Amino acid sequence: KNEVEQSPQNLTAQEGEFITINCSYSVGISALHWLQQHPGGGIVSLFMLSSGKKKHGRLIATINIQEKHSSLHITASHPRDSAVYICAVRSSREYGNKLVFGAGTILRVKS
């Protein structure tokens, strides 16, 4: 069992739909990261958060520390949002200072 679980593994949406990707983890963490990997392979960091909620454009990330759960929301989805979205956690106590990654969620937005 992976220490960081993402769901769903695959997601197909119609353009304009509201999308939610979930991430659950099993240890106390100091920070959680959401990353986006483009079809071309490049990786971009979207958010780093340790509490509450962050918003950037059409992307919103939330985290519930007590429930050990985070969600990434995409509003008004667009085909250019098609990518792999990866959740990663940092726990200095459990993992030293390294990031531990989820397996990723493959998102495809159809026009």
Q: Distance between CA atoms of 8 and 66, rounded to whole angstroms?
A: 22
Nearer to other proteins, 33 or 109 (CB): 33
CB of 85 to other proteins, least distance (A): 12
Q: How far apart are the first and last CA of the chain?
A: 35
Shortest Cβ 18–other proteins spacing (Å): 25
d(CA 26, CA 75): 28
Residue whose CB is less far from other proteins, 60 or 84: 84
Cα–Cα distance, 82 to 93 (Å, whole number): 34
**Residues in contact with other proteins by the rule CB under 8 A:** 30-31, 33, 35, 37, 41-45, 48, 84, 86, 88, 90, 96-99, 101, 103-104
Nearer to other proteins, 60 or 103 (CB): 103
Least distance in angstroms from the C-beta of 14 to other proteins? 24
Q: Which is nearer to other proteins, 17 or 95 (CB)?
A: 95
